[in-house]
Structures are given as C-alpha cells and as structure tokens.
Amino acid sequence: MKILVLGAGVVGVTSAYYLAKAGHDVTVIDRQPGPGLETSFANGGQISASHADPWAGPATPAKIVKWLGRADAPLLYRFRADLAQWAWGLRFLRNCTAGRSRINTERVLRVAVYSRDCLRALRAETGIAYDHLGKGILHVYSDPREFEQAVPKAAAMSELGCIRKVLTPQECVAIEPALAASRDELVGGTFSPDDESGDAHVFTGRVAELAGAAGVQFRYGVTVTGFATEGDRLTAVQAGSERLTADACVVALGSFTPLLVRRIGIRLPVYPAKGYSVTIPVDGHAGAPSVAIIDDQRKIVYSRLGQRLRVAGTAEIAGYDTTVREERTRPILNAAMRLFPDCGDPGKAEFWAGLRPTTPDSVPVIGPTRYRNLFLNTGHGTLGWTMACGSGRLIADLVSGRAPEISPEGLDVSRF
C-alpha cells in the first residue's frame, strides 16, 4: 500500500520504519528541515516504563492546588481563555479516581513494556547507536510520605510486568555512587533494572536513516494544512501547495494533531504540556551520575548522554508556547546542582522547552478513526520515546490488517 505518515518526530519516524518493514511504500511529511526537531529534540532521554503511572491520580488535584503559582511546580495549570484547555482539564479531573488510574496505568504499561522489547529487538537487528545506557532507572525520594506512597505503586507495577525493587538510601548510593554527596537527603528509592536511557534526537535521526534505507521517502519543509474526505474515506492530504493521495495515512503530528483532525470532525483531547530540559556538559567533572535517575517528588529526570547530563522536567498546561522561561529552568538546574554538586559547570548549561502531546488519561491514542484509511499515533505525553517503537509497530500492524502482538483495547480515539 501507498502510505503517508504525517510528522517526523520519534513517533512518526518509528511508524514509518515499521510500515516500510511491513512492505509498504511510505512517505513522511514534516514542516521542519529534518527529523525530531520539535518535542523529540532534547527530552529527558529515558526509556522508562517504570514511569507509567498517569499524571491523573487520586492525590493529583490537591497537589495541583498546592503547587499553584510556584516557579518550581512539577505541574502548573495556567488558566487561559481556551475551550480546548478547559475541556481537557475537566476530562483530566474525571481520570483522577483510583479506578481510572488503575485502568490507565495498565494501558500505558501495556504499550511501554512492549515498546521496550521492540526497541531491544531493533537494536539487536540494526546495531543502532544513540548514547544508549542499559543500567536501569533509579527513582529516588527525599520526602518520607512520597516514598511511602511509592512502595505500593512499585509493587503494583511489578505485578503488571514492570519490575520496581524498593531500596534503602544505602542501596541507592550503591547503584549510583554520585548520590553519595546528597545521601542524607534520601529516604529511599525504587529501581527498575529493565529501563534504559539515551539521546532521543540522535535515535530519531538514526531510525530515519534506517527507514530511508528501507525505501521511505522523507519530505521536509512541507506543512500539512488540511484533509479532503468523501464518506468514510480520506481522499487527500493538503501539504504545502500539493494535494497528496495515498491508500492510508497515519497522523503523528504530536501536539498539533488535534488542530488538524478537528477540521474533519475528529475530536481528539490532546493538549500540549510544556516541559523544559537543561543539558550540562560533564567536562571532566566526577560527580555526574552514570545511571538514569528520576526524582519522583520533583518530577525531574536525569540521563547521562555520553559527556552530557540531561536534566528535564516540569509540565505547564499553558497552550502552544515554547518560550524558554528562566524562572522555570532555574529550579531544574538548581535541583541538579543540589543532588549532584559536581556534575558539571552550570554556567555552560543549555536550555530547551518542548510541548508534550498529552491526553487527559496519559494513555496514547493509537489506532483507527471514523475514516477507514486514516489512523492516529499521538498523545504519548511524557513517555513518547518510551512508547515510540511499540506504537510504531502496533500502528503498522493495524494499518496492514495484521493481528497485533499486544491488544489495542482502550488505545484508540473512540474511548473519549
């Protein structure tokens, strides 16, 4: 089949790769001059199935109220005159029950654990290199109450197939000696040995090369502006000045997907959640971690990417704005320098902001739509790289009419 993939972020590129491997004739369209230049550019760098607990949980509304107006708030809701933002917020609140949270955790884990396996298979098959580290992810806690809540969550995740071992502070330091400097702050940790880290942007570029070698055409610098439909079929995609036709189309435009598909009547509650990253050159400093870390309480992640330390976090529900705000990046840099005082020179840090395509239930949207040749692969929120390979493989199977290796139940847009 002739297939159009819209979007060359990590999700679009992996979709294109698996579609080409399934024997299709694939063209990828993106408005940027290359792959992975928007949200997939400088993210936290973690393949973290262990981070699958959804943002919406029973304790979240109280936390959001507590964090209102704080510069270091892990999740900040900036109220705007934007109907989509309010509708998203209401759906988010409806997902804050224990029952919904359990269902959503299972759905995210289903995709994330499968995706980790697909990534491993891709690595074994192709030898793809991207500053990969397979030393697991260590979640650390400095607040006794947060740690207390993390222990049953870790047990529940282990039962769902994502091992998270509970650790003492000494055991945390044994896994990551760079934590010795802040040992007295720690009250405990959990460790997921199967999680990984690496550079998502390099990964996206390399998968694009592999896809190109498998016959995928990439058309950069082309903006998609609309669709034409007839009955239950998509008939054309308006891309720049051209009307492109294909047998099927996969939309992977990240946070921008809902703005386009709503023109053909698809209501998709994906909203941007802005996050920031700070990249510190290690430059011979001895105190940077070499195991990927998540500070669960502050929602900050640390990944060692060769001779750089990537530190990322915070979420702002504030619309389509990618301005890098100093008052939001400074607390991330300060947190890094407090946990790892000799990790690098803070004066050489680089700052970045990106828009996570986020659903109110934290579950991605992967699957068919009311148009039988139009598919969605988006809404991966905080775990887009973690879930990219699995989502790409799943959408390739669904488009090809093959039985997927995991159940697609509860993943498509009809759940809203």
Ligand X SMILES: Cc1cc2nc3c(=O)[nH]c(=O)nc-3n(C[C@H](O)[C@H](O)[C@H](O)COP(=O)(O)OP(=O)(O)OC[C@H]3O[C@@H](n4cnc5c(N)ncnc54)[C@H](O)[C@@H]3O)c2cc1C
Which of 30, 72, 199, 295 binds ligand X (CB under 6 A)? It is 30
Count, residues near ligand X per rule CB under 6 A: 41
Radius of gyration of the chain (CA): 20
Q: Among the candidate windows 9-17, 174-182, 207-215, 366-374, which touches ligand X by CB under 6 A? A: 9-17
| Cα–Cα distance measured from residue 265 to residue 134, given in angstroms and rounded to the nearest whole number | 43
CB of 324 to ligand X, least distance (A): 11
Among 9, 136, 169, 272, binds ligand X (CB under 6 A): 9
Question: What pairs with residue 244 in β-bridges?
Answer: 237
Question: How far is C-alpha 345 from the geometric centre of its chain's CA atoms?
Answer: 28
CB of 112 to ligand X, least distance (A): 8
Residue of 3, 5, 7, 268 that binds ligand X (CB under 6 A): 7
Query: From the CB of 98, what's the least distance to ligand X, in Å?
Result: 25
User: How far does Cα 384 stand from its chain's mean position?
Assistant: 2
Amino acid at 97: T
Answer whether 310's CB lies under 8 Å from 281's CB.
Answer: no
Site for ligand X in 373-412 (CB under 6 A): 378, 380-386
Span interacting with ligand X, options 76-84, 160-168, 188-196, 247-255, rule CB under 6 A:
247-255
Pairing of strands 137-141, 188-192: antiparallel
Q: How far apart are CA 393 and CA 24, in angstroms?
A: 13
Among residues 24 and 380, whose Cβ is nearest to ligand X? 380
Binding mask 320-349 for ligand X (x = CB under 6 A): ------------------------------
Q: How many other CB atoms sit within 10 Å of the CB of residue 68?
A: 11
Angle 356-358-359 from CA coordinates, rounded to 5°: 170
How much helix, strand and coil, in percent to the nearest 5, is found in the chain? 40, 25, 35
Q: Are 145 and 66 in contact (CB under 8 A)?
A: no
Span of 172-180, 280-288, 351-359, 399-407 interacting with ligand X by CB under 6 A: 351-359
Q: Measured between alpha carbons, how far is 351 from 328 in angstroms, rounded to an integer?
A: 10
Tell me, residue by residue from 43 to 62, as one string, x for binding to ligand X by CB under 6 A and - for no binding.
Answer: xxxx-x--------------
Which range touches ligand X (CB under 6 A), out of 40-48, 58-66, 120-128, 406-414?
A: 40-48
Q: Give the footprint of ligand X on this chain (CB under 6 A).
A: 7-12, 29-32, 37-40, 43-46, 48, 223-224, 252-254, 256, 275-277, 301, 312, 354, 356-357, 378, 380-386
